[in-house]
Every structure is written in C-alpha cells, then in structure tokens.
Amino acid sequence: MSTLDVSRGVCALLPGLQHWLENAFYEVRIVDAASPRDRDGQRILLATEIGHATYRDILINVHDGAPSLVPAANGLPARVAFGIADMGFAFALIAELARPAAIPAVGDSGSARLMTLAGRVARSDATVLIQGDTGTGKEGMARFLHAQSGRIDHDFIAVNCAALPETMMEAMLFGHKKGSFTGASNASDGLFLAADGGTLFLDEIAELPLALQSKLLRALQEGEVLPVGATHPIPVNVRIIAACNRDLAGEVAAGRFREDLYWRLNVMPLELRPLAERPGDVAAIAAAMLLRHQDMAKASFVWPTAAALDKLAAHVWRGNARELGNVLQRALVLRDGAMIEADDLHLTGAPQPLRVVAPIIAPASIAPASINFEPTRLRDVAHHSKLEAIRIALRETDGHRAAAARKLGISERTLRYRLAEMRELAAA
C-alpha cells in the first residue's frame, strides 16, 4: 500500500476524495500544506496552495468550467480542474496520477482488500496460484507480488504456457545442451535459470501437457532443473506464480491436470473476480487506460462525461479489462465532441432492462383487441427479480460476495451459482 499526503484544504473541500483513495489502495495522511515533507514525497494540494508544491505534486481546482488535466512539465506540478458533475472520474484520475507503476489500478473496496492480502503474500516465498477470467489482471497481480517481494532486484520472467510450441516447451522452460536435439546448435539456459533469484510467472498453467507437468513438479519440489540433454540437475532459486483462467480443481477432476502439482501450486490461492462484480474498479481502470492511450504533448486530455462513466459502470464486461480498453480506444477515435459521451462508447451486449409486463385486465375504455403484449410467465419474472436483487446487493456491498450473500440471506455457494448464471445470460 502506498502512502499519499493530502492537504487539509483538499479534504475540507472534497471529503469524498479520502474514501476514494483508500478504496484505491492508498494510506491517506492528512497534512498541512506548509508542513515539512519527505524529499521525494508526493502531495495532493489545492491550486491555491501552489506555493508549497513541488513538481511531484498534484494540484486540484474545483470550478464550474470544463474538466481539464495539465500534466507535470517544466518543473510545474500536474493540475486537475473539474466541477461537481465530473467529480467521479476526477477522483479516479487523481488516484492514477499518483499510483506507482507496479501497483494495479483499483478503486473498489473489495479489490483493495485483495491487494492488502496480496501484499502479505508477496513478503513470503510461497508459490501463488492466481485464478480468474481472461482480462481480469492476473499478470498485473503477479507483477505486484514480485514488486512487493524481496526479489525485486532480480528478474520477473512472464511466460504464457499456451503460446509455447509443444515440442519446445521442455527446452524453453528448463534449457538444453548443445546438440541435444535437431536444431540445437547452441546451448540455452531456459526460463527457470533466466529467472534465478527472481520470479517466474507461468500464465495459462493448465495448458502444460501432463508429461511436462511431472517435470515442473520435480523442479518445484527439489529446487533444481534438468536441461534437455544434460545428465546433472542445476539448482535454481525461483519463486513460482502460476495463473489459470479455468477452474484448476475442475481440470484435476477431469484428469487434465496432475493433482499433486495442483496442491504444490495452490499454496497461496488468489482469485480475481470478473470486472462486472467490482464496479468500483471500472473508473480506476478507465482512468489508467485513458492516461496510457493519449499523448498529452500533442492534444488535451479527453475526459468521459458522467453519463459515459455511468454507462461503463453498468455494463456487463464479458471481456473484462481488455474489452474496456477496446471500448475506450474506439471512443477516443469516434467521438464527435471534446469529451467522450455515452453514445460514443458503442457498447455491445449491454444489459437490457426488464420488459414491462402488461396488465392482465385492461381498463374498460380500451378495447381488448388494442392490447399488444407478449405473454410473460410468472416464473420468469421472479427469476429476473432474483438476479436484479443480486446485482443491487453486490453494488451496495462494493462487490463483497460474503457480505452480499448475508444481505440476501443465501449461502456464498448459492451466490456463486447465481453469478455464473448471470455471466451465461450476458454471454448469450
């Protein structure tokens, strides 16, 4: 967790900013603008407090005009100006301007709690298994674990197991000797040795063939690798972080993944929820992506309107953060005005409102023949009502599943079934 100093003037003018920053995984310290400071510290100050600012700081100006962002340049701090209508995105933008590169963008209280847990896990050398849908940020979490560990001075090596040629997997992971197979004109250390002293991130671990899984298990258990064509193993000191977008326990039950390897990897499990279940993260990720996709040296920073932000928060993100990135890039290109409007988002597969059920008995003034509606089964209405209640409970509990289940009076297992059903409906 990063510590961020916020002036008393900012907190008095914008009391909600502290709450947002805490959900964004910051420890907020309220300070006087004129108080002594760390040489490399960063502060959020009012524009009127510029006399106490350094180029690292962020100045805030709340006004009635259009929102704007002026990045830090020429020894001047970054300046963010906005009105009440744009406050929601402004808070997310301020958090992203201050965020260290190694910390993923979050703005949801549930995600902040997960990051706190991950920070504790990072300080150990235990193997970590990250599970979550594609696009939920598994590699970002792995990089955070590495950055928070004692291995930060050594390499972080990321490999997508699904992208490795099956015939070359063993040699690429464990290395090979010169002449050990056709085409091996030179020896290679392999990815394990490349990550020696650091972290090896094995994404899509379920794609490893069963034969190679046994060799991976031995490398984890013994702390050594045997390059292809070698006769003596080589010791390695590597922290393994594995990730999977499928239920790895289900893969074990289906016989596609070794049970002993599963338990060796599942020492510290972390589960990343779909983006639709953590709406507070949508604004944070959107701010991070808009900062990344725009060249502010050539043009002014483009803000989304409050209506556009609401539309993003309400969308069911089947592609998670990757889909969000595509939507925002498209909106930057296709927008008509100075800001990204709701209509510029061109969202597909957006959740549909419930159909209004026509009354069974028509008023006497209306002839029965003029009533035009589709028959609706009561069972369907009740089913949709349950799903809507789940959405509301998750929103009110900031996506915390256990709290939402208690609020609904159901078990967490039942809630998981209902969420899976909602994702299937959204994908239909």
207: domain CATH number is 3.40.50.300
**Which pLDDT score is estimated for 193?**
85
Q: Is residue 90 part of a domain?
A: yes
Give yes or no: residues 240 and 283 share one domain.
Answer: no
Q: Give pLDDT, residue 187.
A: 62
Do 154 and 20 share a domain, yes or no?
no
Cα 1 to Cα 115: distance, rounded to the nearest angstrom: 8
Do 87 and 126 lie in one domain? The reply is no
**127 and 242 fall within a common domain:** yes
The predicted model gives 370-388 an average pLDDT of: 49
Least confident of 49-63, 280-294, 308-322, 406-420: 406-420
In a domain? residue 361? no
Give domain status of residue 139, yes or no. Answer: yes
* 3-state SS class at 115: helix
Asked if pLDDT for residue 263 goes beyond 80, the answer is yes
Q: Are residues 118 and 261 in the same domain?
A: yes
Whether 119 and 84 map to the same domain: the answer is: no
Residue 289 covered by a domain: yes
pLDDT at position 77, please?
92
What are the pLDDT digits (tens) for 17-62?
999 999 999 989 999 988 988 888 889 999 999 989 899 999 999 9
Instruction: Specify whether 15 is located in the same domain as 164.
Output: no
Each residue's pLDDT tens digit, 59-110: 999 998 899 999 888 888 999 999 999 998 999 999 999 998 888 999 988 8
Looking at residue 428, its pLDDT comes to: 54
> pLDDT tens-digit profile of 311-342?
999 899 888 999 999 999 999 988 888 899 99
Domain end call among 229, 251, 272: 272
Specify whether 114 is located in the same domain as 262. Answer: yes
Please check whether residue 307 lies inside any domain of the structure. Answer: yes
Distance CA 361, CA 364 (A): 9
Is 394 a member of any domain? yes
pLDDT bin (cut points 50, 70, 90) of residue 254 is confident
Are residues 12 and 135 located together in one domain of the fold?
A: no
Q: State pLDDT tens for residues 189-243.
A: 778 888 889 999 999 999 888 888 888 898 888 888 877 777 787 888 999 999 9
Share of the chain above pLDDT 70, in %: 83
pTM across the whole model: 0.75
3-state SS class at 158: strand
- Burial profile 110-138: b = 16 or more Cβ within 10 angstroms, e = fewer: bbbebbeebbebbeeeebbbbbbbebbbb
Q: Which of 208, 241, 272 is the last residue of a domain?
A: 272
Task: With residue 122 as reference, give the H or E element that holds it.
Answer: helix 109-122
Query: Which pLDDT tens digit goes with each residue over 97-154?
Result: 999 888 899 998 889 999 999 999 999 889 999 999 888 999 999 999 999 999 999 9
SS3 content of the chain, % helix, strand, coil (to 5): 45, 15, 40
Closest-CA residue to 196 (of 229, 166, 218, 174): 174
Domain CATH number, residue 410: 1.10.10
The rounded distance, in Å, linking the Cα atoms of 245 and 132 is 5
140/226 same-domain check: yes
Co-location of 184 and 235 in the same domain: yes
Closest to 134 measured CA to CA, from 427, 428, 347: 427
Q: Which domain holds residue 389?
A: 368-427
CATH number for the domain harbouring residue 10: 1.10.8.60
Q: Based on the fold, state whether residues 175 and 219 are members of the same structural domain.
A: yes
Picking from 328, 344, 360, the residue at the C-terminal end of a domain is 344
Residue 363 in any domain: the answer is no
290 assigned to some structural domain: yes
pLDDT at 189: 74
Tally of domains within the chain: 3
